[in-house]
DNA sequence: AATGAATGAGTGTTCATTCAT
DNA sequence: GATGAATGAACACTCATTCAT
């Protein structure tokens, strides 16, 4: 069951993401995924034990990938605002560039496929963000609210804006991004 | 003659929302909906031509209901901040109290069930919000950014926070809500 | 269960015949029959215990009606050829004027609805025809073949010709009918 | 790789014919066909897109097969009566030996399955018969009636006789067949 | 490993029949 | 009696999964 051909597993992932974006988790079949990935249905089952495992596996991959992106160029030694801005922009860019993955992850949360353990395991990846926010609070640079609340405030506005931009077929320019960041910062700053 | 029972359509809606929250759009069957609504499978098809129409219909109902809630107690004559706060709280409360509907609407956007026309028709309902934001900009009370961006900033943070609170099994207290509003207001105010 | 309103039972029969002609026995539902007859589905079951009984009942009615028509103006005292021709024309006219019934009867023979007893019961109705043919043979006016064979020869050509005419949307004129009769007569005459 | 099995499509056809003879088009289900053909229900749908296509396809196959049989041993160079008799006997034998197919074709004409185009396409197959009859008329060997009328006269008596023989469980002997042919010939000869 | 035909449980939907009004 | 909403078994069809090649 361990995939020989890594490229093929990747093709399957890509096919799945593309179909989920187009039709939602509710609408995809193993047959369609196979066709989209240019392989036979049976081949899917060489790489993934079943549909649930394919979805869970892709979910994990996406979560890990996103975590990796989030902390690109980020150093714990940075001044708080620099670090925060770095991550904020990473988050925005991830959502824009890998929109499909973001949609997929969103859809997964309310699906019968994703197991609780899979959800748990992916939480830990974002610990560094928690620490950053905590340090910001200690330095009294940002409001002394619940950390998770501050984070969801930050993430929520990004997610929603990117979604809107995507469906309205509108680009998020450098200037718009800067405006968005300013709003977010004004919202959380002390 | 047994007249068609309006309550029954409502039961079907409720059953659907409950199941979608529990298992996602991907996981529900007409049989389950019927069982949850305490009716026979065939009866579903008296009230809705097919699954797609049931989902679309429920989508429209939810959208209309949410729009109605959003503008409760809101008067165009109110001072801007009062009006904005009124709607902000309406939005928050809607998301909290009718979490199922919110989840359902989110799931629908990437589903094969919702037709484009259904999506279009529901957009218009939120026009008053646009006007409010515009007037806020004219009075120079809030930042002069794109209206939609300001709105998604507002909505995004609410949505994400409520989602998080729900899944973490945490209540949003009066104090937390007020903190959330403050962050939102600080973010958009001029 | 004994129908109060004879007209209504007749409406049901007519609706059934019309639908069978249009879509075949395979394609009709009790709901459609009711709609075509302008009554409610439930009402069907006041007049007929179930679908099978409706079909069987209609089958019997048609058979009896056709038998009645076949022997119109026929007298056993007639010279053989006159009698034969009378019946031959009755048969032809029946098939033309009540094409729907003929189609229905044909379809019934290979359907799961008609019971064997129903088939048996309708056979007896055509005894007078057998006698006529027998007498023709005795008078050495027609070939001394098996009676049933002579009869099916006669009936078969009529049935097929009417069917063809109907589907080709062509009328059977007086002249054509006479030609047809001549062929039949030449075929069986001694 | 397991290649698609041509024999299987044939098994499906045979199962369908057998069931149609036994219960009529009205009474057969895809599940029964599958069981009769010793395959799984899903397998049916590999070979035929849906029930309608299965029926249409079988209809076409039967029609083509029958056309092929009709003209066996027939040569346009034959004297008219020899040619006519050859085809007449082919027709008779086809109806006897492949009674199931004949029943099926008859049932199809009034079914919701057979499309108009399918009906059209099969008409052309019988052109050679038309030519034969026309030549017979030119040689003044047979009556100068409408060609189609002559043909339906011929076909009708055969069809009906075979049907009757089948249901009466009676064999059509060589002698009976010859008698039948004689009647037909006497009927059409000039 | 790769294929896609084969499987059959499961899904959406229909429809004969019943039942409350 | 008449109605048509309600029922649920049965149907056409799908699709995750297996298997022969």
- Angle, helix D80-97 to helix D127-138, in steps of 10 degrees: 150
d(CA B131, CA A25): 36
Mean pLDDT, residues A127-140 taken together:
92
CA D89 to chain C, closest CA, distance in angstroms equals: 15
The gap between B52 CA and E17 C1' (Å) is 27
CA A69 to chain B, closest CA, distance in angstroms equals: 21
Strand partners, A189: A142
The gap between D68 CA and F14 C1' (Å) is 38
DSSP-assigned letter for residue B124: G
Closest CA to B106 of A169, A171, A159: A159
Mutation target vs A (from B109, B110, B151; most A CBs, 10 A cutoff): B110
The pLDDT tens digits of the residues spanning B79-118 come to 999 999 999 999 999 999 999 998 888 888 777 777 777 7
**From the C1' of F2, which residue's alpha carbon is nearest?**
C43
Going from the C-alpha of D188 to that of each of C181, D142, D148, the distances in angstroms are 11, 6, 12
B47 nearest nucleotide via C1' and CA: F5
d(CA C139, CA C78): 13
Which residues, at least 6 apart from D66, have a Cβ–Cβ distance to it below 8 Å? D94, D98, D101, D102, D105
Token digits for B77?
């004559």
Q: Is the pLDDT of residue C3 over 60?
A: no
The gap between A133 CA and E6 C1' (Å) is 57
Which chain A residues touch B if contact means CB-CB below 8 Å?
Answer: 20-21, 23-27, 103, 106-107, 109-113, 143, 145-146, 148-150, 152-153, 155-161, 163-164, 167-168, 176, 179-180, 182-184, 186-189
Cβ density class A12-35: b for 16+ within 10 Å, e for less = bbebbbbbbbebbbbbbebebbbe
d(CA D93, CA D86): 11
The pLDDT tens digits of the residues spanning C139-159 come to 999 999 999 899 999 988 898
Going from the C-alpha of C163 to that of each of C104, C178, D46, D110, the distances in angstroms are 13, 17, 36, 11
Contacts of B110 in chain A (CB under 8 A): 20-21, 23-25, 103, 107
Going from the C-alpha of A91 to that of each of A73, A154, A156, A157, B180, the distances in angstroms are 12, 10, 11, 11, 21
d(CA A45, CA C133): 74
The pLDDT tens digits of the residues spanning C19-78 come to 998 888 888 999 999 999 999 999 999 999 999 999 999 998 998 888 888 899 999 999
- Is the distance between the Cβ of A31 and the closest atom of strand F smaller than 7 Å? yes
d(CA B153, CA A157): 5
Q: Which of residues 28-87 of C touch strand F (CB under 7 A)?
A: 39-43, 45-47
Q: Give the predicted TM-score (pTM) of the model.
A: 0.87
Among all chains, which residue has been given the structure tokens 């973010």?
Answer: B187
DSSP-assigned letter for residue B145: S
Q: Strand F: which bases are under 7 Å from protein Cβ? A: 1-21
pLDDT of D127 reads: 83
Q: Is the pLDDT of residue B182 over 90?
A: yes
Token digits for B64?
């209309």
- Is the distance between the Cβ of A52 and the closest atom of strand F smaller than 7 Å? yes
d(CA A48, CA A3): 8
d(CA D178, CA D190): 19
Contacts of C167 in chain D (CB under 8 A): 109
**From the C1' of E12, which residue's alpha carbon is nearest?**
B30
Average pLDDT taken over every residue of chain D? 90
3-state secondary structure D46-57: HHCCCHHHHHHH
**From the C1' of E5, which residue's alpha carbon is nearest?**
D2
Mean pLDDT, residues D20-31 taken together:
88
DSSP-assigned letter for residue D189: B
Which chain C residues touch D if contact means CB-CB below 8 Å?
Answer: 20-21, 23-27, 103, 106-107, 109-113, 143, 145-146, 148-150, 152-153, 155-161, 163-164, 167-168, 176, 179-180, 182-184, 186-189
d(CA C91, CA C187): 17
Which residues, at least 6 apart from C47, have a Cβ–Cβ distance to it below 8 Å? C1, C3, C8, C9, C12, C54
Q: Are C133 and C142 in contact (CB under 8 A)?
A: yes
- Is C111 in contact with D23 (Cβ distance < 8 A)? yes
With pLDDT > 70 as the criterion, what percentage of chain D qualifies?
99
Which of the given ranges, B6-10, C49-53, D112-116, D163-167, has the highest pLDDT on average? C49-53
Token digits for A84?
């925060």
Contacts of D52 in chain C (CB under 8 A): none
Contacts of D113 in chain C (CB under 8 A): 26
With residues binned 3-state (H G I as helix, E B as strand, rest as coil), the percentages for chain D, rounded to 5, are 75, 0, 25
Contacts of D182 in chain C (CB under 8 A): 143
- Is A24 in contact with B23 (Cβ distance < 8 A)? no
Burial bucket for residue C161 (CB in 10 Å: 0-12, 13-18, 19+): buried
């Amino acid at each position: 069951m361990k995939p020989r051909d890594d490229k093929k597993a990747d093709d399957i992932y890509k096919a799945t993401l593309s179909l989920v974006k187009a039709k939602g988790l509710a609408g995809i079949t193993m047959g369609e995924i196979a066709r989209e990935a240019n392989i036979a249905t049976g081949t899917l089952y060489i790489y993934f034990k079943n549909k649930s495992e394919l979805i869970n596996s892709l979910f994990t991959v996406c979560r890990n990938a996103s975590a990796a992106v989030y902390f690109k160029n980020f150093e714990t030694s940075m001044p708080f605002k620099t670090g925060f801005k770095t991550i904020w922009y990473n988050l925005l860019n991830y959502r824009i560039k890998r929109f499909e993955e973001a949609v997929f992850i969103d859809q997964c949360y309310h699906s019968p496929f994703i197991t609780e353990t899979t959800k748990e395991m992916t939480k830990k990846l974002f610990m560094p963000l928690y620490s950053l926010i905590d340090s910001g609070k200690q330095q009294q640079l940002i409001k002394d609210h619940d950390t998770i609340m501050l984070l969801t405030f930050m993430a929520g506005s990004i997610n929603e804006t990117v979604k809107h931009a995507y469906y309205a077929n509108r680009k998020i320019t450098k200037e718009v991004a800067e405006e968005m960041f300013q709003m977010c910062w004004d919202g959380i700053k002390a």
